[in-house]
Structure 1
Amino acid sequence: MIDPVPPSEHVGRSSTGFVAGDEDARLAEFGYTQKLDRSVGRVASFAIGFSTISATTAVFTGFGAGYLNAGSPFIWTLFLAIPVFLLWTLIAADIAAKLPLAGYAYQWTSRLNGPGFGWFTGFAALIGWVSGMTSLGYIFAGYLGSVFDWDLTQAGQIFIAIGVVLVCVTINAYRVRLATFINNIGVGLEIVVTVGVTLVIAVVVFLVPDNAQPFSSLFEGKSSDEATPYILAWLAASLGPFFGLVGVEAVADVAEETKNARRVIPRTMFYAFATSCVIEFLMYLVYVLAIKDASAVAGSSTPIEEIISQQLGPVFAKIVVAVALTNILVCLLANVLVGTRLLYSMSRDNMMPFSRALRHVSPERKTPSTAVITLGVVSVLMLLSALVSPQAFNYFLGIATLAFFTTYVLQTVGLLIASVRGRVPEPEPGTFNLGRARIPLLVVALIVFLTVEMALLFLPAFAGNGFVFGGILVLAALWYIIVVRRRVRTGHAGAAYAQEHPDDEAVEVR
């Protein structure tokens, strides 16, 4: 699927000739006119990365499944996830500094390997973001029900999730400054309140005699199913920690809305990743040791609330969960923000159905409103599918993780080929650059990502996800064969399309 495209057509020239603030001219080098609101500074960039990863959301969503699958030792699976995502952070930071474009997953491979490769990579990432935001909406609804003691049916939880998704879509459709403002507040609450409560619980657990599980429990576990070898159960328990670190590269997707993107984005990727890893591990550690009644935790749909209730009482637990809901909400908000920029970017190059509508940017609000609304509609339809088949929701979280790792594999393959062929742009002075370490790092990363991908496809706990995701990829392949390939061949899609067909005059070719 790699199209032989000369580097000069797909890769922007070095921008060292422009002054630091001339972002519009830098974007023009890639053939695009600045239309989005470039208002994201360093703090907001960090907040987007941090909230997309969202350590609190990861713990609240992944704790129950991890503990049920493998018991207390499941927390060590985080140390499988950390080196994997460190590899990806290094790779993403390196390319983000050279190709700071919205729609990172599509743009990086499209410009370095051709639009065909870019289409499949971007589509896989798009599935990851929409599945992730759908999962978060459902999880938010469940915790909201627990705060107000609602006895929610699955249908009730789905309809609440739909409402939450629509709220986040509305905020993103209105203006990016509002979305990032709310996101900054949510991140502040997460760092101050949620982490603060975790430290309070840690003090109570370790200072009150016989109030904590022994440290030895962290190395004693058994699988929930006696027929399943423990090592397989332990590996299955890693889905939560792995899903919890997905999205470290998300800040690259708002590159066209970030000030001094080439320098700011790589730094905030590392800051967000490091902060999230530390907070996530400490929360897992404290909450596992704080379990008093293991059977109650195992039987609870909201295990973290149950643990806090055991230590500090039900009233305090509900207050903490209410604050944690804001963390899940801003994580969902950031997922919508990032996913819609990817959809907008692919539509700008006329790669999607109804691209002309999807690439529209509101001149007043400077947001891709149609793309935002469309992604929201797709998420709502996915949630409604769980009404028809209760099994549907079980696939969302697994497919999200599978889609992201498919994206990582495709991007790593594309970047490795581009590096060998000397197609990766030269770095701007003072920006992050892997240099000679790029190719060895990409080789190691490809082996690691393929290993995780195989686990997500073949571990018994994830059975079925591969077939569903494979079916989605078949649809992507049909669209490429029937429509996209012809558009690219006739010059009606690809990296040069936006420059040669201004939005106001473009007529979509079908």
Structure 2
Amino acid sequence: MVDSRTPKDPSVASLTPPPRRPDEDEDARLAEFGYAQKLDRSVGRIASFAIGFSTISATTAVFTGFSAGYLNAGAPFIWTLFLAIPVFLIWTLIAADVAGKIPLAGYAYQWTSRLNGSTFGWFTGFCALIGWISGMTSLGYIFAGYLGSVFGWELEQREQILIAVAVVIVCVLINAYKVRLATFINNIGVGLELVVTVVVTLVIALVLIFAPENAQPFSSLFVGDSPDDAVPYMVAWFTAALGPFFGLVGVEAVADVAEETKDARRVIPRTMFYAFAVSCVIEFAMYLVYVLAVKDADAVIGSSAPIEEIISQQLGPVVARIVIAIALTNILVCLLSNVLVGTRLLYSLSRDNMMPFSRALRHVAPKRKTPSTSVVTLGVVSVLLLLSALVSPQAFNYFLGIATLAFFTTYLLQTIGLLIAAVRGRMPAPEKGAFDLGRARIPLLVVGVVVFLGVDLALVFLPPFAGNAYVFAGIMALALVWWLLVLRRRLREGEAGPRYAQDHPDEEIRAVADVA
């Protein structure tokens, strides 16, 4: 059924199926959305939690965000985490509410496309895609820097970029091979993070308790100075929040592997809450312990690997290198998960013929059941971005900021779309046993719009982030050009959008049906 308000767009409205039958399996449910089951539905509860936890990756967040936070605001920067936690709790509640109702790969595109129209879905999905690409590119570069510190290499930017390229390629090959391999490696990495990294943090905490002369006074957590006298401290403090905010990005990422998750409607919302709660506790504990463990602040500020410097000050350089080597697995699986979920979004967009070269990008290897072309394409784009930093050293400075800006813009667009759908009564009905916001939905969506808009404005107007807005706007302009020149016509003619796969069963879909 087509929404009578927008008769020219055959992809709008009534694109959510009727309530699920008690005996209906996940693959049959997917068919009701108009798609054949082509991916490998092998992700269970543990693997789902591991994907969510590793995408957030508290350890990676601390390793990447500590330097900027401590440099900008000193020890009190850790309290900015308590700005991030309620913001992401709002988003987790919103995302969990929809994930159980529309369990499809490429959630950022699918949710808004089915509830608000394909044009809205296109810009939201493209924005999220920029976030995942920028995020994985940043993680590759960060991983290369810490790898150099483990081996004692004095890396120039060119060398660090080339190592990052190699790391991204490895993660792409793992994801292109099979999701079971990616989730198996991811589970190991998460296990190491939960056991080793947390244990080391507890050891340092014990050292500080029994040798208080090695610790900063607790009062230092409430005294900070701006690194620039011309910048008010509160501005510096808010700027320092970028690390903690980036550290919780991706709490909803597990929704991107909904078509590969068993009992996705119930498992994914729970996974989001578990991963979010565990990440918040671990991230704050690590920030608190490592801030109090700073013995030589100048050495930490001047170090390219501040956490390694802090561990070295407390436990010695040998232990520090061992811990960093293990922590590298956390950053690696975080990158691995970013590639995994980002490629599912690209695949989902291409399956609906929304992307250039969609026919190739929606290809799924029949034996491995992975969208291998999308995986390789996303890897190529990331590699090209890394290589661009060889030409312009400033290029990398934008990756991390753009990733955060892109994600929060995605959250804002999705929340606006969901609010419109909720007011118009177009949200899918809840299912028994699945998470549902009920009457709290509209009030929470209103609060979400205000909060996410505020964060977006801060990421645009705070002085250290000002340049990101222009770059991000330029990238989104490409999405507008593609929509104006090609995609608008495709949507008008029914050659793209959520009904495309159902109305245009290509050779691959027929082949899957024959095999089944």
**Fold match, TM over 0.5?**
yes
Choose the corresponding residue for 2:323, options 303, 320, 324. 320
Offset of residue 12 of structure 1: 2.4
Q: Answer yes or no: is 1:371 the counterpart of 2:348.
A: no
Choose the corresponding residue for 2:79, options 76, 79, 85. 76
Code of the residue aligned with 2:329 in structure 1: it is: T
Q: Deviations over 1:328-356 (max 9, x none)?
A: 00000000000000000000000000000
Q: Deviations over 1:306-330 (max 9, x none)?
A: 0000000000000000000000000
Q: Answer yes or no: is 1:393 the counterpart of 2:396.
A: yes
User: Could you tell me which residue of structure 1 aligns to residue 428 of structure 2?
Assistant: 425
User: Could you tell me which residue of structure 2 aligns to residue 380 of structure 1?
Assistant: 383
**Gaps (5+ residues) in structure 1?**
none
Code of the residue aligned with 1:29 in structure 2: it is: E
What are the equivalent positions in structure 2 for 1:11-30 lying under 5 Å apart? 11-19=15-23, 22-30=25-33
Q: Answer yes or no: is 1:223 the counterpart of 2:226.
A: yes
* SS state at 2:154 partner: coil
Choose the corresponding residue for 2:485, options 468, 482, 487. 482
Choose the corresponding residue for 1:193, options 186, 192, 196. 196
1:128–1:79 CA distance, 2 compared to 1 (3 A): same
Q: Answer yes or no: is 1:214 the counterpart of 2:224.
A: no
Paired with 2:404 and 2:178, the residues of 1 have a C-alpha distance of 29
What are the equivalent positions in structure 2 for 1:50-129 lying under 5 Å apart? 50-129=53-132
Q: Residues 9 and 496 of structure 1 are in contact (CA less than 8 Å); yes or no, is this contact kept in structure 2?
A: no
User: Could you tell me which residue of structure 2 aligns to residue 132 of structure 1?
Assistant: 135
Q: Residues 108 and 414 of structure 2 are in contact (CA less than 8 Å); yes or no, is this contact kept in structure 1?
A: yes
Code of the residue aligned with 1:252 in structure 2: it is: A
Offset of residue 25 of structure 1: 0.5
Q: Residues 362 and 374 of structure 2 are in contact (CA less than 8 Å); yes or no, is this contact kept in structure 1?
A: yes
Paired with 1:336 and 1:453, the residues of 2 have a C-alpha distance of 24
Q: Answer yes or no: is 1:241 the counterpart of 2:253.
A: no
Q: Residues 200 and 323 of structure 2 are in contact (CA less than 8 Å); yes or no, is this contact kept in structure 1?
A: yes
**Gaps (5+ residues) in structure 2?**
510-516
* SS state at 2:427 partner: coil
Offset of residue 504 of structure 1: 1.3
Q: Answer yes or no: is 1:405 the counterpart of 2:408.
A: yes
Paired with 2:150 and 2:20, the residues of 1 have a C-alpha distance of 53
Offset of residue 74 of structure 1: 0.3
What are the equivalent positions in structure 2 for 1:110-509 lying under 5 Å apart? 110-504=113-507
Offset of residue 450 of structure 1: 0.2
Q: Residues 106 and 342 of structure 1 are in contact (CA less than 8 Å); yes or no, is this contact kept in structure 2?
A: yes
Identity %: 78
Paired with 1:87 and 1:481, the residues of 2 have a C-alpha distance of 34
Aligned structure 1 segments of 4 or more residues deviating by more than 3 angstroms = 2-10
* SS state at 2:507 partner: coil
Moved more, 4-13 or 340-349: 4-13
1:8–1:453 CA distance, 2 compared to 1 (3 A): closer
User: Could you tell me which residue of structure 1 aligns to residue 512 of structure 2?
Assistant: none
Code of the residue aligned with 1:152 in structure 2: it is: L
1:321–1:490 CA distance, 2 compared to 1 (3 A): same
Q: Deviations over 1:60-89 (max 9, x none)?
A: 000000000000000000000000000000
* SS state at 2:459 partner: helix
Paired with 2:478 and 2:308, the residues of 1 have a C-alpha distance of 41
Offset of residue 241 of structure 1: 0.2
Paired with 2:461 and 2:438, the residues of 1 have a C-alpha distance of 35
Code of the residue aligned with 1:14 in structure 2: it is: P
Q: Residues 3 and 115 of structure 1 are in contact (CA less than 8 Å); yes or no, is this contact kept in structure 2?
A: no
Offset of residue 505 of structure 1: 7.2
Code of the residue aligned with 2:440 in structure 1: it is: A
Code of the residue aligned with 1:305 in structure 2: it is: E
Q: Deviations over 1:64-123 (max 9, x none)?
A: 000000000000000000000000000000000100000000000000000000000000
Q: Residues 13 and 115 of structure 2 are in contact (CA less than 8 Å); yes or no, is this contact kept in structure 1?
A: no
Paired with 1:505 and 1:42, the residues of 2 have a C-alpha distance of 30
Q: Residues 103 and 343 of structure 1 are in contact (CA less than 8 Å); yes or no, is this contact kept in structure 2?
A: yes
Q: What TM-score, normalized by structure 1, do the two folds share?
A: 0.97
Q: Deviations over 1:411-452 (max 9, x none)?
A: 001000000001110011110000111000000010000000
Q: Residues 3 and 113 of structure 1 are in contact (CA less than 8 Å); yes or no, is this contact kept in structure 2?
A: no
Offset of residue 205 of structure 1: 1.1
* SS state at 1:225 partner: coil
Q: How many residues align?
A: 504
Q: What TM-score, normalized by structure 2, do the two folds share?
A: 0.96
